[in-house]
Amino acid sequence: MSVIKLLNYKPEFDYQLMVEVDVDPLAERCVIMSRDKLEILGVTSQVSASTRFRLPMQYASTDNIMVLILDKTREYNAAILDGVTAEIIDANLVKI
């Protein structure tokens, strides 16, 4: 009888994309969208001074990302940053 031993292989690097947004302290929501499809890639209502988003690898070599910040009470105008490029990171080293 043969015994097969399975090994769990963990790659040395875990490449992912990240967008880090320096958010206005009065903003209460931050939204990441694809510019070409207007698809929402990430939303958070837990905004801090530096908010991070993990994105699909298909956005690695494009600037088709928009960042939108807004408040819930509509006291301030929303702000949009267009043409954002995501950063390639090693997820083993960066906490998101």
pLDDT tens digits along 14-63:
788 999 998 888 888 999 999 999 999 999 887 788 889 999 889 988 99
DSSP state, 86?
P
Would you say residue 33 lies in a domain?
A: yes
The number of residues making up the chain comes to 96
| Letter string b/e over residues 51-60, b meaning 16 or more CB atoms within 10 A of that residue's CB | bbbbbeeebe
Query: Looking at the domain assignment, is residue 69 inside a domain?
Result: yes
CA 86 to chain centre: 8
Whether residue 62 is contained in a domain is answered as yes
Q: Please, are residues 50 and 22 in contact by the beta-carbon 8 Å criterion?
A: yes
Residue 72 pLDDT class (50, 70, 90 cuts): confident
Rounded to whole angstroms, the Cα distance separating 83 from 43 reads: 18
Domain coverage including residue 45? 15-90
pTM of the predicted model, to two decimals? 0.76
